[in-house]
Chains A and B, each alone.
Chain A
Amino acid sequence: MQKAIRVKALDVHYGRSRALKSVSMDIPERSVVALIGPSGCGKSTFLRCLNRMNDTVPGAKVEGDVEVDGHSVYRNGTDVVELRRQVGMVFQKPNPFPKSIRDNVLFGPRLHRRMDRAECDRVLESSLRRAAIWDEVKDRLDAPAMGLSGGQQQRLCIARALAVEPRILLMDEPCSALDPIATAKIEELIQDLKKELTVVMVTHNMQQAARASDYTGFFYLGELVEFGTTKQVFENPREKRTEDYVTGRFG
């Protein structure tokens, strides 16, 4: 299977403390990967390395390498803006801009290219449709995004990320601020998205990882303890630490 992402011996330090310890992972294309593990084990740090968001974190030092579609993203001369177009990110707390729904979605595409009115409308509709929110907002595209419910805001943020046609979507606990119905919508949406792109998602919710992902990685104290198909990790984990964590026998 084609690999969307190859992570090789990734090490991250924040100042003197080592947040990731030689993590390697191959992520197949068009799959959903769930990253699980206790708070502070390095999941978000790992995610941020995939599109070089750690560059902006003061004191962070990244060693090792990440390849996206066969290209090393840490080599000199990588166009970080283009990288982040290809590798989009959705955060835990929905963070729409204090602008209209339309402006939120079109923000990214307009940064990357000039678009006429017709193209704007096309990108707007298709992004909102792919994020499964079109029917809910099509009659109020110029209303403020802040007026939407939490779940709608999160899907709007996904639409915003999709508008620039990424190949990979990173999600850091995308549902932890949402109610169960809104969560179910996002999970359904993720299943649709994987037909076209690769999703890497951090989640605190073990059931969500089991339901929504094809592969699961378990992090502990900066180490990737186990990475395998979700079925294997939840039915028959290889490592005792994984077993203890997923069955709630931890600590």
Chain B
Amino acid sequence: MPEVRLMARQFHQDLDKLKDRVLEMGAKARLNVVEGVRSVVERDTELAERVILRGEELNRMDVEIERDALDLLALNQPVAQDLRTVGASLKIITYLDRIGRYGYDLAKMTKQLGAREPSGKKPVTLSLMADHAMMMLDAALSAYKDRDGAKARGVGPQDEVVDALYEQMFRTTVTTMLEDPRTITRGAHLILAARHLERCADNASKIAEKALYMATGERRLPV
């Protein structure tokens, strides 16, 4: 069956391309979060502007990759590992779209707050949360890239760290707001920003779950 093998080879090349596109989308989503959070922490409205200008890019990639993935399904009826790759990719782009959206929302927040509000202390906990969430995202995407089940399994437990940072951020911000009501508007926004980052970490965990499924066929049920 030489023609069968030829077609399989073409399909596997297309599948590799699909994965590359997903990883490319991952890099863009990551950049949104990194720059979005930096714009909040540093009160950098110019940087925020740049993130916002990229707003539609992820959306477009989401639609394009979904279309390509569905084409692959329709034309090749993949099975086994190949099927799991397409299935995982379809889910992962949704999570990436959300992560990128949180970065976008952070940038919007910077613009809304502007320079009017009093600054207060620099919210470094937000940077910490972002770093940790992005480390989870990196591990999840690298597990996806290399079909590395062990690496994927390592991501979920990291979520607790981000949750703990969120609790801490919440408590200290509320305390500050009580002490100085002029910080309330900014404080409320910072809590929301922390919430966004906590959600980014959740979505990174979800990506890791899909990478695990792709690599091993194992499905994690919610506990």
Contacts and interface: CB of A to CB of B under 8 A. Distances in A.
B77 A247 contact: no
A248 B11 contact: yes
A235 B77 contact: no
Contact of B83 (A207, A235, A248, A249): A235
B84 A250 contact: no
Given A235-B217, A236-B217, A247 B5 contact: no
Interface in A200-251: 206-207, 210, 234-237, 242-243, 246-251
Nearest to B11: A248
Interface string A25-42: 000000000000000000
B80 interface: yes
A246 B217 CA distance: 15
A206 B7 CA distance: 14
Contact of A243 (B5, B7, B77, B81): B81
Given A235-B84, A236-B84, A236-B217, A251 B79 contact: no
Contacts of A207: 77
Given A248-B11, A249-B12, A234 B5 contact: no
Interface string B1-17: 00011011001100000
A249 B8 contact: yes
Contacts of A210: 77, 79
**Most interface-central of B11, B79, B216, B217 (chain A CB within 10 A):** B79
A235 B79 contact: yes
Interface in B139-190: none
Contacts of A246: 79-80
Contacts of A235: 79-80, 83-84, 217
A77 to B, nearest CB: 44
Nearest to B218: A236
Given A235-B79, A237-B80, A247 B217 contact: no
Contacts, number: 39
B78 interface: yes
Chain B contact residues (Cβ within 8 angstroms of A): what range? 10 to 19
B131 interface: no
Given A206-B79, A210-B79, A248 B84 contact: no
Interface string B79-110: 11111100000000000000000000000000
Contacts of B12: 247-249
Contacts of B79: 206, 210, 234-235, 246-247
Contact of B5 (A236, A237, A251): A251
Given A235-B84, A235-B217, A248 B4 contact: yes
A175 B78 CA distance: 21
B51 to A, nearest CB: 39
A249 B11 CA distance: 11
A34 to B, nearest CB: 13
A10 B182 CA distance: 84
A247 B8 CA distance: 8
A249 to B, nearest CB: 7
Nearest to B9: A248
Contacts of B4: 248
B77 A248 contact: no
A127 B151 CA distance: 58
Interface in A93-127: none
Contacts of A234: 79-80, 83
Nearest to B78: A247
Contacts of B78: 247
**Most interface-central of A206, A249, A251 (chain B CB within 10 A):** A249
Interface of B: 4-5, 7-8, 11-12, 77-84, 216-217
14 contacts: A234-B79, A235-B83, A236-B80, A236-B84, A236-B217, A237-B80, A247-B79, A247-B80, A248-B7, A248-B8, A248-B11, A248-B12, A249-B8, A250-B5
A-B residue pairs, 9 tightest by C-beta? A248-B8, A236-B217, A234-B79, A246-B79, A247-B82, A243-B80, A246-B80, A247-B80, A237-B80
